[in-house]
Amino acid sequence: MAMVHTGGPRDGIELHVQRLPPPAGHPAAATAVLLHGLLTDSLASYYFTVAPGLAAAGLDVVMYDHRGHGRSRRPATGYQLESFVTDLERLLDRLEITGPVHLVGNCFGGTVAFEYAIRHPERVAGLVAIEAKPATASWATEIDGIFRRMVGELIEHEAESMAWITAHRGAHTARLARSAARLVRATTIARDVPGSRTRGAEQVRSVRCPVLAVYGAESELAGAGEWLESLLPGARSVVLPGQGHSVLAEAPGPLLDLLLWWLLDPGGTPPSPVPGAGLGRGPVAAGADVR
């Protein structure tokens, strides 16, 4: 599958969609919609990590590039969280996916998932947030800080920043950073995302579906799991030892195990990084901290 127009009165948009069906002859156990993060991210982060494993296990997997990202269209304006949520809503309608879906969101993709679950509780069967939190006031402040740092370093001193990234993070990361800089320069995204409407604890509480929140132990977001568990009775958080923010890229194996457990066999034995389930399954989950 390739480009799909979301329709809509004026603000419809063409998005790049990839769908991995379950193996031939197997009816889909459920539909999982995978939502990527901001700026350097695209659906490739799932396509090359957990998506094939989810499809092979019997899920109908839907991935798309958010507006402005990957191979989707890049309008000059319209990057408030609400627009991303509307894109998801219209895309599912366009793909005729009407039943409740499982949303899996990485970073900002998780924020989109929470917002969608607040807006359409009846359309969400479950939510997996990877290194993500809902659009609270503190989220908006943090993301504003990230954009300000980025504009300061990457946009205003692009040559030096790129040289540093190439030397320390490699050519591929530098290429992603360059395309993120293009997105920030060409659009209002750096103003729009932090300016999105935020949600208070009361509204976050209206998320009714089961929530699995996954964080890296070394990530600044790691504390969000406990907060979510205190707020949402249906939430469970998992902290992966030895991991930072890039859980999806760095620990796809343990993450896939977690997703398969949560999506297909929640009554079964959870994989090892879940507290109380023992330690040491899989090379990454066993990480330096556990040894």
Partner 1 sequence: MTIGEQTAPPVADERSVLADIAGMLRTMLDEYGVDDIEITMQTRFTEDLELESIDLVALAGTLEARYGQHVNFAEFVADLELDEIIDLTVGRLVGHVVRKLRAAEGGS
Question: Which one of residues 37, 70, 216, 225 is an interface residue with partner 1 (CB under 8 A)?
Answer: 70
Question: Which one of residues 5, 28, 48, 197 is an interface residue with partner 1 (CB under 8 A)?
Answer: 48
Handedness of CA 149, 172, 241, 63 (dihedral sign): positive
Number of residues that bind partner 1 (CB under 8 A): 28
Q: Is 167 in the site for partner 1 (CB under 8 A)?
A: no
Q: What part of residues 4-23 is at the interface with partner 1 (CB under 8 A)?
A: 16, 18, 20
Q: Is 71 in the site for partner 1 (CB under 8 A)?
A: yes
Q: Is 49 in the site for partner 1 (CB under 8 A)?
A: yes
Question: Which one of residues 120, 175, 208, 281 is an interface residue with partner 1 (CB under 8 A)?
Answer: 175
Nearer to partner 1, 207 or 248 (CB): 248
Question: Which one of residues 119, 162, 179, 195 is an interface residue with partner 1 (CB under 8 A)?
Answer: 179
Q: Is 45 in the site for partner 1 (CB under 8 A)?
A: yes
Taking the C-alpha atoms of residue 33 and residue 51, their distance in angstroms, rounded to an integer, is 10
In the complex, the smallest distance separating the C-beta of residue 58 from partner 1, rounded to whole angstroms, is: 15
- Per-residue binding string, partner 1, 245-274, x by CB under 8 A, is ----x--x----------------------
Q: What part of residues 200-219 is at the interface with partner 1 (CB under 8 A)?
A: none
Nearer to partner 1, 20 or 117 (CB): 20
Per the CB < 8 A criterion, the answer to whether 218 and 148 are in contact is no
Phi and psi torsions of 172, nearest 5°: -70, -45
In the complex, the smallest distance separating the C-beta of residue 128 from partner 1, rounded to whole angstroms, is: 19
Binding residues (CB under 8 A) for partner 1: these are: 1-2, 16, 18, 20, 42-45, 47-49, 51-53, 55-56, 65, 70-71, 170-172, 175-176, 179, 249, 252
